[in-house]
Chains A and B, each alone.
Chain A
Amino acid sequence: MNIPANLKYTKDHEWLLIEGNIGTIGITDFAQGELGDIVYLDVDKNLQTIAAGETFGTIEAVKTVSDLYAPVDGKVLEINEGLNDEPQVINTDPYGKGWIVKVEITNASQINELMTAEEYKNQIGQ
């Protein structure tokens, strides 16, 4: 199970990479493993903002559909268009090519609410 130490995590299995005030969001290795084959990502291409704890899209796997939750408030800068044609890269590279959305973090204090890699590891019982 890959749980990079440099990321922050939500209880809903999203990860957040923080670079200055820019946040990149995806789902964890554990989450992609639980979902199995991912076939389609439903994120509104006109998405402007996300709000901590609120859904900003859904992820469709063969077995089930799952909501995506925002780790922090943010202004959407970019949605990973590569996932339109190859959603399965979330399965193969969840922390790399499988990133979902990039935002400008608008409320940095929310970062403290997120889990560290160690805390997330405990949550999923690894």
Chain B
Amino acid sequence: MIKQTKLYNIHKALGAKIVEFAGFSMPIQYNSIIAEHKAVRESAGLFDVSHMGEIFVRGNNALKFIQNITINDASKLLPGKIQYSAMCLPDGGIVDDLLVYMIEESEYMIVVNASNKDKDFDWMKKNNQSAAEITDCSDEYSLLALQGPQSKTILQKICNRELNLEYYNFFMAKVADEEVLVSRTGYTGELGYELYFKGNEATAEKIWNTLMKAGKDEGLVPAGLAARDSLRLEMGFSLYGNDIDNTTNPIEAGLGWITKLNKPSFIGKEALQQFKSKGTSRKLSGIITKEKCFPRKGYAVTCNGKKIGEVTSGTVSPVLEEPIALAYVESQYSEIGTKVNFLIREKEIPATICKYPFIKK
């Protein structure tokens, strides 16, 4: 049974293209992907990302549990703060990347990828030696992402609290007179907020419609998952299932910054220590070219006639109007400036290893 978010009827009414994603009927685009992408960079876009999973961890051992199952140091969190983290297998492979929200000392919300939610929940229950209380509340929550330079101005019009939130902080507030967890996070690289709330279709539609109305003068547009994907790729943010999965580890994926090896112990620590000290055979690398082409997932990356890597995400950047890609490349070729090729329909297209984010924010 394919699930629908509580905003499904709104998407239909807006004429969105709907596709199945992670078991949900989701709006992939409303009009033009590129126009939605640019609207988020220049004014603001509103995304329904209610398919994401919300798993609550409660009890006196909540922190102990999270410290064991995630690779970042959750003891650094304070109530109202958020941390980007991941869960790993004992061999260092990534179970999922996620956000940890500290609500209070004995209550955390973990936000996971929709496609991994059931697997994550099982993994958590299986590794719950500290007997924390773990509850999957995903079906209760809707999640809207309001992203773009105008997002603060728009949200402030219908929010009862001053939006003085720093990046990766959250608070409870009334938005459109409804109780909402307002989080200064996003997946686009822009100023933006993610709004978590409970309630039925009527509540969700009220919040969506109130936001759209509030953002009319600022040029707020509904934006779909396709624009979300190209926006995150311009920032070089990893997407689970493309750039990271259970066969890739955080060190080679460029997520060393969330891997806190000084933490006493956590699942995957020994393996990650090895990767860190010995180095990995490949690295997730940015690749750009000025040639006209469209690098896509699965395309080979070559150098001197031999395959040295594979594209995990690629697009033509709507901002740069040039092709960009993330690819796992053998470490010896991963230095910035290395000349490589995309292999597209048996043709080698010259390209260069580069730093990412691909755009300056």
Chain A residues with CB under 8 Å of chain B are 36-37, 39-40, 42, 58, 60, 62-63, 65, 84, 91
Contact = CB atoms under 8 A, between A and B. Distances in A.
18 contacts: A36-B32, A39-B294, A40-B292, A40-B293, A42-B292, A42-B293, A58-B345, A60-B293, A60-B294, A60-B316, A62-B34, A62-B226, A62-B315, A62-B316, A63-B28, A63-B33, A65-B296, A84-B292
A19 B226 CA distance: 40
B33 A40 contact: no
Contacts of A36: 17, 29, 32-33, 226
Contacts of B230: 62
Contacts of A65: 294, 296
A84 B292 CA distance: 9
B33 A62 contact: yes
A65 B32 CA distance: 16
A63 B315 CA distance: 9
B344 to A, nearest CB: 9
A30 to B, nearest CB: 14
Contacts of B17: 36
Interface residues of B, number: 15
Nearest to A84: B292
Nearest to A60: B294
Interface of B is mostly: mixed
B294 A40 contact: yes
A58 to B, nearest CB: 7
Contact of A63 (B226, B292, B345): B226
- List of 10 A-B pairs having minimum Cβ-Cβ separation, nearest first: A60-B294, A39-B316, A62-B33, A37-B34, A37-B33, A40-B292, A37-B32, A40-B294, A36-B33, A36-B29
Contacts of A91: 32
A60 to B, nearest CB: 4
Nearest to B29: A36
A62 B230 CA distance: 9
Contacts of A84: 292
A103 B316 CA distance: 30
A40 B296 CA distance: 13
Contacts of B316: 39-40, 60, 62
Contacts of B33: 36-37, 62-63
Contacts of A63: 28, 33, 226
Contacts of B293: 40, 42, 60
A14 to B, nearest CB: 19
B361 to A, nearest CB: 21
Nearest to B227: A62
A23 to B, nearest CB: 25
Interface string B28-43: 1100111000000000
Kindly name the residue among A39, A40, A62 whose own CB sees the greatest number of chain B CB atoms within 10 A. A62
Nearest to A67: B345
Nearest to A91: B32
A36 B224 CA distance: 13
Contacts of B294: 39-40, 60, 65
Nearest to B28: A63
A16 B345 CA distance: 26
A42 B315 CA distance: 16
A91 B17 CA distance: 16
A115 B360 CA distance: 50
From B17, B226, B293, B294, residue with most partner A Cβ within 10 Å: B294
B36 to A, nearest CB: 10
A63 B17 CA distance: 12
Contacts of B226: 36, 62-63
A63 B36 CA distance: 14
Interface string B12-48: 0000010000000000110011100000000000000
Contacts of A40: 292-294, 316
A84 B321 CA distance: 13
Contacts of B345: 42, 58
A60 B293 CA distance: 8
B39 to A, nearest CB: 13
A39 B320 CA distance: 13
A60 B295 CA distance: 10
A40 B317 CA distance: 12
B32 to A, nearest CB: 5
A14 B266 CA distance: 57
